[in-house]
Amino acid sequence: MRILRSSVALPPAARGAVVAIGNFDGVHRGHRRVIEQAVEVARRIGALAGVMTFTPHPRRFFRPEQPPFLLTRLREKLRLVAATGVDQVHLLRFDARMAGLSPEAFVDRLLRDALAVRHVCVGYDFVFGRGRAGTAAFLAARLADAGIGSSIVAPVSSGSGGGDEVFSSTAARQALAAGDPVHAATILGHAFAIEGRVASGDRRGRTIGFPTANLWLHDYVRPRFGVYAVEVELVGGARHGGVANLGLRPTFGGDPEPRLETHLFDFAGDLYGRRIRVELRAFLRPERRFDGLDALKAQIAADAAAARDVLAGVQPRGCGTAAPSL
């Protein structure tokens, strides 16, 4: 998959694609339907299939003071997009210039002239242009005036009934905030994961027999603080089950920012500085302050046993809801 970071002076071979447009945070099941529509049209007419997305997320540009909210950082988003089979991604910088484009200029100058798109696919709720004044219907009409086709993809939901949930990034964030990574995975179509390079910690876990790999959350959305059964992917594709604490570690005085501390099962080695990807599979218990390392060590052992049970598909043993944090 080719990544194109500018719309100016595109290589001739990159022009004339079918393009799906969106922020695609989380690349959830609704997003994938929009992208799949672009791939289907592209294959039918013999064009390249592309995705146009933006960095940073426009919400971060317009409201930088808001709490972190990302379901996928850029590396993970591009990996998920690549898995849909697209040929190229137009990764455009969202800055004051982009924010100031009128809906008409977005269509005429960017899509028609710079990219020479042959067809555009967007979701039913797509908005764009200065003041979010452009709608999916406006986009389709403006493109039609230029002789360019478009598809507006209907919402994708959990079923056909009237009360079914529409898959959205907001719904996935709400599920994670409620401590329900299973429901979040249903919306996303894949497990929510936190990815990054392992940071050096205080190495306290080693002293009690449970070494951990530490990741700072940075701009990731904040799931409910607590202990999770997890699966960890290492560079090279090796996977290990594990148990992780996500939170502020109040037992040890509290951290200024949340971190994810993950103990990998059946692993021996140094992970400092290595990139790992930690998938949240099940919430085991909330975070709270705990007095005494001996009792903490016993609880971590119980958490590890419960996590192994969950990952093996059996009912967890003795995992209470008021247990201590790591």
Tens-digit pLDDT profile for residues 27-83 = 999 999 999 999 999 999 999 999 999 999 999 999 999 999 999 999 999 999 999
Mean pLDDT of the chain: 90
**Domain 169-312 grouped into CATH 3.30.300.170:** no
- Is the pLDDT at 321 greater than 60? The verdict is no
In the structure encoding, which two tokens stand for residue 278, read together?
């930690």
CATH 3.40.50.620 in the chain is located at 2-153
Core vs surface per residue 63-101: b (16+ CB within 10 A) or e: eeeeeebbbbbeebbbebbeebebbbbbbbebeeebeeb
CB 233 within 8 A of CB 191: no
Ramachandran sector of residue 303 (left: φ over 0; alpha: ψ -120 to 50; beta: rest): alpha
Phi then psi for 244, rounded to 5 degrees?
-140, 145
Of 9-13, 73-77, 255-259, which gets the smallest average pLDDT?
A: 255-259
Boundaries of CATH 2.40.30.30 in the chain?
169-312
SS3 for 139? helix
pTM higher than the cut 0.85: yes
Report the pLDDT value the prediction gives residue 320, as an integer from 0 to 100.
45
CB 242 within 8 A of CB 230: yes
Q: Residue 164 pLDDT > 90, yes or no?
A: no
DSSP code of residue 70:
B
Per the CB < 8 A criterion, the answer to whether 53 and 25 are in contact is no
- Residue 272 near residue 249, CB atoms below 8 Å: no
CATH topology of domain 2-153: Rossmann fold (3.40.50)
